Structure 1
Amino acid sequence: MIRVLIEWHCLPDKEAEMDGLLVELRTGAMRQRGYIFGETMRSADDPSLWLVISTWLDLDMWRAWETSPARQAIVGRIVPLRLTPPKVSAFGFVWETNWWPQDTGHYAMDEPPVHPAKDL
């Protein structure tokens, strides 16, 4: 699983349009294979800054949506509303607290976690 964070900086007085287009992006993402969850947030300190967070099954599924003509069309409508290009970051999950023995494929709650770096 991966989580994608996109920072958008919106021009003043364009917030309502930005909000509508970000809703369109999220609605489109929800129809894509591999999309799990998403949310849109706005900075409490900087009203021009919006953060879109989405969770995907894997990076390839995100990339398929990221480069799709449907998404690019919506992003094209956002271009005149933004101060700077969006900052896009994709992160993989670190399952450090849930490592399990390789031979079992699961983690039993009564066993201590196996930490690969410590157990080498």
Structure 2
Amino acid sequence: MAVRIIIDRKVKKGKETEFAKLLRELRTKVVPSKGYISGETLRSLDDHHNYIVITTWQSVDDWKTWEKHPERKKVQAKIEKLMARPTETKVYVHA
């Protein structure tokens, strides 16, 4: 069953360019991952420092494998340093 992952991030002021670079790096690494279907990044119109990333995976196991992948963890650690609050990740399925 396909799952959607919603990743909510709030970037510190002045860190947007560095954040965008790291997101592109993650996107490059995730695309060939087993079970990855698609992804998109959205920025809030009300708060330009708030972003969500929505990815679709073939299964929750595929997502969890990527979530624990050393390359993802390395980039995510860099991203966390740019955040105004901790990243929030939630997993959803079709109701």
TM-score range for the pair, normalised by the shorter chain length:
over 0.9
Cα offset for 1:80?
Answer: 1.6
Q: Cα RMSD over matched residues?
A: 0.8
Q: Percent identity?
A: 36
The answer to whether the 8 Å contact 2:38/2:56 transfers is yes
Return the alpha-carbon distance in structure 1 between the equivalents of residues 16 and 81 of structure 2. 12
With normalisation by structure 2, the TM-score equals 0.95
Letter matched to residue 60 of structure 1: D
In the alignment, what sits opposite 1:84?
85
In the alignment, what sits opposite 2:37?
36
Return the alpha-carbon distance in structure 2 between the equivalents of residues 90 and 18 of structure 1. 22
In the alignment, what sits opposite 2:66?
65
With normalisation by structure 1, the TM-score equals 0.76
Return the alpha-carbon distance in structure 2 between the equivalents of residues 18 and 41 of structure 1. 13
Cα offset for 1:70?
Answer: 0.5
Q: Give the paired residue count.
A: 94
Return the alpha-carbon distance in structure 1 between the equivalents of residues 88 and 77 of structure 2. 15
Cα offset for 1:12?
Answer: 0.2
Q: Which has the higher strand share?
A: 2
- The unaligned stretches of length 5 or more in structure 1 are 95-120
- The unaligned stretches of length 5 or more in structure 2 are none
Cα offset for 1:67?
Answer: 0.8
Moved over 2 A (4+): none
Q: Which has the bigger relative contact order, CA under 8 A and spacing at least 6?
A: 2
**Bigger Rg over Cα:** 1
